[in-house]
Amino acid sequence: MPAMSNMDFKVVKHGMIPDSYRFFTTYKAEKSGGYMYRKDIADLLNLSLIGREWQWHHVLEDYHLPRLFSPADAKKMYEEVIPCVLIHKHEHSNYNKLLHTPGANMVFNLPPMKGPILTGLARKDYKERLARLYAGTYGNDKLLVTILNNTLNAL
């Protein structure tokens, strides 16, 4: 349950760090506000979130959407639907290293990224494999895993 929210962003208790929070929005909402969300959050918490130390991370990367949607629909999902979380740049880099490596595709037996849009059982299987990949990447961060699973279930 969000600790604070509006139509564009949600603030949720961090899944692993007591007295800490995760900030979520969509790419479109964050870009339309420029750095205003970061500035408002920074002012509220008396922190410096402007600059390159903090970055928005999509809980489901665009890299994994082409097998689920047409290119136009995948772009729209990535920009307007898939949640983004504000995380430190080192955490973001670590997640992306794991999620974008060809080895992850082999370990989790993901189909090639190029190919027809998956339907039926193949689509269901692909989403289950993605869920395992992301759960392994996000580790013990149950909040990110839950949001990822909810996102996959909604697709």
- Would you tell me how many other CB atoms lie within 10 Å of the CB of residue 18? 6
The closest of 37, 6, 13, 11 to 24, measured between CA atoms, is 11
Residue 2 has pLDDT above 50, yes or no: no
Residue 32 has pLDDT above 80, yes or no: no
User: Could you say which DSSP state residue 56 is in?
Assistant: E
Nearest-angstrom CA–CA distance, 27 and 19: 26
What pLDDT is stored for residue 50 in this prediction? 54
- Interval 134-140 mean pLDDT: 91
**Which residues, 6+ apart, have CB-to-CB distance to 23 below 8 Å?**
9, 10, 11, 37, 41, 85, 86
Q: Can you say whether the dihedral through the CA atoms of 2, 92, 26, 126 is positive or negative?
A: negative
* Domains in the chain: boundaries: 4-154
- Interval 59-69 mean pLDDT: 93
Helix then strand then coil, in percent of the chain rounded to 5, is: 50, 15, 35
Residue 42 has pLDDT above 80, yes or no: no
CA 131-135-140 angle, 5° bins: 155
